[in-house]
Structure 1
Amino acid sequence: MQIGTVIGNVWATRKEDHLKGLKFLIVQPESPQGSAIDFAYIAVDRIGAGVGDKVMVTRGSAAANMTSDLRLPIDALIIGIVDSIDVERGDDFAKGTRDD
């Protein structure tokens, strides 16, 4: 999973049939301290996130398998809206540079 902030919306009037009714948002991935760590990407949202919300995103096959009956052609899915983040380990852990 990854933390990020929703920075925009994507509207697509024509798309794959199985994607109809899904909302697409642009997510900027971030470190726990809030600094950008990678390029922004598009994620499917089914929980009602909006621009400015900090979100948790799952990517890859976990996102594509969001329904038990159909594998969707997506690679990022918003799975939660973050209320707060509390990092209690050292700064290296928060930056993603720990050795263990």
Structure 2
Amino acid sequence: MQLGRVLGQVVATVRSPGFDNVSLLLVQDTTDDDDGDGATCVAVDLVGAGDGDVVLMTTGSAARVAAGAATPTDRAVVAIADSVIRHGTVTYRTA
């Protein structure tokens, strides 16, 4: 799994079957640091995350299983983080 911060939504009115009832989020990878220079990707939102939320993403076959077998996806948001602790220090906590 990877940590990421939600930067916004991706709106697509024409979608592949299986994507009818899911939101697409623009997420920046923050797994290695919080500097805001991680790769940006699109992920299927399975938990209702919003702008600025720190989320856990899964990739590959784990993302496909989480999103449902009929939904062809490589990345899915599966949790919203309450806090992140690195080296014994809280680096993120929800308000």
Q: Is the TM-score greater than 0.5? A: yes
Larger radius of gyration: 1
- 1:50-91 residue CA offsets vs partner (Å, 9 max, x unmatched): 1110101001111011256x24211111011111111236xx
Moved over 3 A (4+): none
Q: 1:45 offset after TM fit, Å?
A: 0.5
Q: 1:36 offset after TM fit, Å?
A: 3.3
What is the aligned partner in structure 2 of residue 35 from structure 1? 35
Does the CA contact (< 8 Å) of 1:54 and 1:81 recur in 2? yes
Q: 1:18 to 1:31 in 2, by over 3 A?
A: closer
Aligned length: 88
Distance in 2, matches of 1:42 and 1:67, equals 14
Distance in 1, matches of 2:63 and 2:49, equals 16
Name the SS for the 1:27 alignment partner.
Answer: strand
Q: 1:31 to 1:46 in 2, by over 3 A?
A: closer
Name the SS for the 1:57 alignment partner.
Answer: strand
Asked if 1:10 is matched to 2:16, the reply is: no
Structure 1: 5+ residue stretches without partners: 90-100
Identity %: 34
Asked if 1:82 is matched to 2:81, the reply is: yes
What is the aligned partner in structure 2 of residue 46 from structure 1? 46
Does the CA contact (< 8 Å) of 2:17 and 2:71 recur in 1? no
Q: CA RMSD in A?
A: 1.8
TM-score (ref. length: structure 1) = 0.78
Name the SS for the 1:65 alignment partner.
Answer: helix
Does the CA contact (< 8 Å) of 1:23 and 1:45 recur in 2? yes
